[in-house]
A and B are shown apart, each in its own frame.
Chain A
Amino acid sequence: MKIRAVLENYLFVFPAVLIFAVFYIIPFISVFQLSFFDWDGILPTKIFVGLNNFKEIIADKIWWQSVWQSGYITLIALTFQNAIAFLLAWACDREIRMKNFYRVIFFIPPVLSEVVVGLVWQWILNGNYGILNFWLNQFGLANLSRNWLSDPNTALTTVAVVHCWKGFGWGFLLFLAGLQTIPRELYEAARVDGANAWNSFKNVTIPLMIPVVVLVAILTILGTMQVFVLIYTMTGGGPGYHTEVPVLRILASMRGSSRFGYACAQGITFGVILCFISFVQYLVNKKAKA
């Protein structure tokens, strides 16, 4: 009877395990395997090259530039994007007029297609006929107008800002949900004890929001490091290599150079980098909790 119950349990989890194996484990093993081969993605024969692909990655300056650039975008997203998301969530959590309307509005960018967002912002930021430059000129700030996406000094920061615009809604939603779980009595008790708004925020809101902040930070890092579609649509990684990010490089190796083995090695390397970042964050979080 006991064996039957155990078998039944396995039978129930079998479909999920099967799907997970077919769509996650097997492809992962294949990618890992391919990273040791030289293969063009078409020929049935693959040449074993050992660790050569990984050695080449270590010496590939453009790859490391792309990793650094996605790190820069992530840093902006972690600070600028999440600060805005938190402030807006905090504002919407208070008794302000039309707060439900704002909640909907702030969540529109994340649900839009990244391709559409990229194309719309490309049009807004266009140096020749973009509305941003138009309004800068109208306000007498013509000296600030430029081709935002083709200027190497502004291209990366510009795509980072657009990424923040597209992504802040997720953080907003999670922060708002977190803020709403804080019991109102704590604020009332703080007020009774003579705390002003800043003190309540510092001593009640922030400590109780730390788990949510950590969660949002992890999601922001993992999501932003893998940013791709938006940049592909807006700049294609240019001008030069100024907005290249790792996923674009992987795509370039696969599609542009037909080097599937090298692309898989880049994918594995990037995965290791993401795991390392997550692990560091886990340690920091653990230390903060302690």
Chain B
Amino acid sequence: MTTMGKGRSAVILGLALLILAAGCVSKSTSEKSITVWHWMTDREPAFRELAKRYEAQFGIKVNFDLYAPSDAYSQKVRAAAQGANLPDIFGILGEKRDFSSFIKAGYVLDLTPYMLENNAEWKNSFFAKALAVNEFNEGNTYGIKPGIYGAPIDIMTIQMVYNKALFRELGLNPNRPPQTFAEFLEIGKKIKAANLQGLVSGWGEIWMIDCLANNYAFNIMGKDKVLATIKGRVPYTDPDWIKVLSLFKDMQDSGLLASGVVTMVNKTAEQLFANEKAVFAFNGSWCVNVYKGMNPKLDYGAFLPPKAADKFPMAIWGGAGSSFMINARSKNKEEAVKFLRWLTERGQQAYLAEATNNLPANKDSLSWIPDVMASFAKAMDSATHPNVWGVSEFSPVIEALDKGIQSIIIGEKTPEQVAAEVQKIKERELAKKR
């Protein structure tokens, strides 16, 4: 190598080391900031605006980092937890079991002491059902110390919506949605005769079909029996469960279900309903914002799924729509708690509700909501959620039940066959647990 060549190599090596060293130097920490990870594309502009307001008021910068879709976000949070790289504030998507694993691993701060400060001022500002999703009670089956581990930022309920214009076209009263399951099926026949599309929903995405099946299970057999089934004390072959599964066959036979509903994703279902191509949709309260964006003139109303039995009340899924948790290992956890408390205060919650058409989690912020949203909010009285039941069904059982319902709808299996298959998987999972 010539001297010239050696000199050039030394310069290149020196530059490379300099770049490496620059990469290793930690970022200046003179400016305080809080990082929040979320998946809510529709709320991103509102979050940014609130972050600006917070910085102007308290001098602390808040970075909202959006990772969408929710599947990708969920994986990112898990990966970050493994690498101990979670941000100051984050949300956990998934079942209560996943939430409990994050707590057990020490990634989630117990917010109970903060919630109980000043006569439980923060705790009492929320709808109780919204907070319950983030609570672990005494004797919970997950082995978590009782407490509140997250703060809800909005609430949701999942119920039926109907198109009033199509109701008129069918000769129905647009202000009277079906009250009973029999009436619902009758409308199905009219829909079929008129060659319209009936009920659309994201039943291709397993959990929404599970949601409606659970609603009817609560209505037909009551909460205690549903929970007894999850605990393994009542089999899925019980006549009441067969009755629940049969409802899906009845809906299909009457013409109530839109063609292709079994592989439909919720986005497609929302497009169909917003474009007035379907009479009914089974959707969450977030749909108010979605439909407004797709068709501001859409005239529709919301109602509880029509009752199939009178012995027990209809229960729908509802509670916290989205929640935020504080990273227990964060250096900024005190600042993060302050920000989360501020975010869930009346003014900020009212702004979020107005800007995003989501129901606020703070019960004092309901002053501004449109009529359709009010009917979703009203349904909170009938709301329940798997995350507040204290027990969780095995995931393979949920999958078998939901896929089984798809098979019933496409006429491939009978309710009895599906019930037997689900029970078999349930027994297998119970045996594994033992």
* A contacts, CB < 8 Å to B: 40-44, 122, 126-129, 147, 149-152, 155, 234-236, 238-241, 252, 255-259
Contact = CB atoms under 8 A, between A and B. Distances in A.
Majority DSSP secondary structure for residues of A touching B:
loop
Given A150-B259, A150-B263, A128 B197 contact: yes
A64 B78 CA distance: 28
Nearest to A125: B260
A240 B412 contact: yes
A255 B74 contact: yes
Contacts of A259: 395
Interface residues on B, range: 35 or more
A240 B260 contact: no
Contacts of B204: 235-236, 238
B75 A258 contact: no
Nearest to B102: A42
Contacts of A44: 105
A129 B277 CA distance: 10
Interface in B204-230: 204-206
A147 B409 CA distance: 13
B139 to A, nearest CB: 21
Given A235-B204, A239-B410, A240-B406, A43 B105 contact: yes
A127 B406 contact: no
Contact of A256 (B258, B395, B404, B412): B395
Interface of B: 71, 74-75, 78, 81-82, 94-95, 97-98, 101-102, 104-105, 107, 197, 204-206, 258-263, 265, 268, 272, 277, 395-396, 399, 403-404, 406-407, 409-410, 412
Closest 10 CB pairs of A and B: A257-B395, A42-B101, A150-B260, A239-B262, A240-B407, A127-B259, A147-B260, A238-B263, A236-B204, A235-B263
Majority DSSP secondary structure for residues of B touching A:
helix
Contacts of B406: 238-240
B74 A236 contact: no
Contacts of B265: 236
B275 to A, nearest CB: 9
A129 B200 CA distance: 14
A256 B395 CA distance: 7
A238 B403 CA distance: 8
B403 A128 contact: no
B75 A239 contact: no
Contact of B263 (A239, A241, A252): A239
B209 to A, nearest CB: 10
A9 to B, nearest CB: 17
Given A151-B410, A238-B406, A240-B412, A43 B262 contact: no
A152 B263 CA distance: 11
Contacts of A239: 262-263, 406-407, 409-410, 412
Nearest to B399: A256
A239 B260 CA distance: 9
7 contacts: A40-B98, A42-B81, A42-B82, A42-B105, A150-B262, A152-B410, A258-B395
A41 B260 contact: no
Nearest to B411: A152
Nearest to B204: A236
Contacts of A236: 204-205, 263, 265
Contacts of A129: 277
A240 B395 contact: no
A152 B205 CA distance: 17
A128 B105 contact: no
A172 to B, nearest CB: 30
